[in-house]
């Protein structure tokens, strides 16, 4: 039994306001006049086909890309302003986990508080172990990433994000490449963390079960435009044929889609 108590703590969380965001790379327009309001404390799922602009949109929120025109604000702060990262703790759980293979699980989690000299080693130990305990990972502290299963790697990546005490938590494809049970486990973790910390959680995902079960709201982006925004309940029984096809494509072996593809 762990002696460390799981006490996630977020002192303030932030919403995100995206206003008339357009992004061009050369003469290709990747994001086209995007308007979105992500409310403080909600789980917001961003869905859409590959290449539709989801990752580019995330990069604007974390300040890795700047708009060609329009604005992205995190609370009252401009996401494109480098100072914003010092004011808001934004944690991004990368799709592949992005763990450091040469570091133990413990040291992966300790990296951020050590680099930012947030506390002494005893304080870091408390913080690392309580976050590992949150995700039932106490016994994995001494392990290296190569010794972990895919699901454990995702949990470690989430625990590492929590060590930052994020005020905005972003997940890029958190359940991709996982079996359905592990996908459900990660989905439950995302919902539990939001429940316990009230942190605004933005989830880019293709996982219909995740989105329909835990999202407060969902947006679907297609070809750089927001095609629709609504509550999970509205998306469970979509009246829009494009959304219905995206969320629940009918498999038709008599009239297969690939015969209609070009290029």
Strand partners, 202: 44, 170
- The smaller minimum CB distance to ligand ADP, of residues 119 and 242, is found at 242
In the complex, minimum distance from the CB of residue 228 to ligand ADP, in angstroms, rounded to a whole number: 16
Number of amino acids touching ligand ADP (CB under 6 A): 10
Calculate the alpha carbon distances from 124 to 15, 105, 194 in Å: 28, 13, 23
Report the 10 Å Cβ neighbour count for 263: 2
Report the alpha-carbon distance of residue 104 to residue 37 in Å, rounded: 38
**Locate tokens 């700047």: which residue?**
66
Q: Which stretch binds ligand ADP (CB under 6 A): 47-55, 76-84, 136-144, 187-195?
A: 47-55
State the nearest-atom distance from the C-beta of 31 to ligand ADP, in Å: 8
| 3-state SS class at 63 | coil
Residue 48 binds ligand ADP, judged by CB under 6 A: yes
Q: What is the closest distance, in whole angstroms, from the C-beta atom of residue 48 to ligand ADP in the complex?
A: 6
Indicate whether 95 belongs to the interface with ligand ADP (CB under 6 A). no
- Asked if residue 155 lies in contact with residue 135, where contact means CB atoms within 8 angstroms, the answer is yes
Q: Which stretch binds ligand ADP (CB under 6 A): 8-16, 43-51, 72-80, 231-239?
A: 43-51
Residues that bind Mg ion (CB under 5 A): 54-55
Residues that bind ligand ADP (CB under 6 A): 25, 30, 48, 50-56
């Amino acid at each position: 039994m762990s002696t460390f108590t799981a006490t996630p703590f977020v002192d303030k969380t932030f919403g995100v306001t995206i206003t008339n965001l357009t992004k061009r790379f050369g003469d290709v327009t990747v994001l086209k006049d995007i308007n979105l309001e992500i409310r403080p404390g909600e789980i917001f799922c961003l869905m859409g086909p590959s290449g539709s602009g989801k990752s580019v949109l995330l990069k604007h929120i974390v300040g890795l890309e700047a708009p060609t025109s329009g604005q992205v604000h995190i609370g009252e702060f401009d996401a494109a302003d480098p100072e914003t990262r010092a004011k808001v703790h934004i944690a991004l759980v990368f799709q592949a986990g992005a763990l450091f293979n040469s570091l133990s699980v413990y040291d992966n989690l300790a990296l951020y508080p050590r680099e930012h000299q947030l506390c002494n080693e005893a304080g870091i130990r408390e913080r690392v172990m309580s976050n590992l305990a949150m995700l039932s990972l106490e016994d994995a502290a001494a392990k290296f990433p190569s010794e972990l299963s895919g699901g454990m790697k995702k949990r470690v990546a989430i625990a590492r994000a929590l060590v930052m005490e994020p005020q905005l938590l972003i997940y890029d494809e958190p359940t991709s490449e996982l079996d359905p049970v592990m996908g459900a486990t990660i989905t439950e973790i995302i919902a539990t963390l939001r429940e316990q910390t009230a942190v605004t959680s933005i989830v880019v995902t293709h996982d219909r079960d995740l989105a329909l079960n835990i999202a407060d709201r969902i947006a679907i982006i297609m070809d750089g435009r927001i095609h629709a925004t609504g509550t999970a309940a509205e998306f469970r029984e979509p009246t829009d044929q494009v959304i219905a096809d995206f969320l629940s494509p009918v498999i038709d072996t008599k009239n297969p889609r690939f015969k209609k593809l070009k290029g």
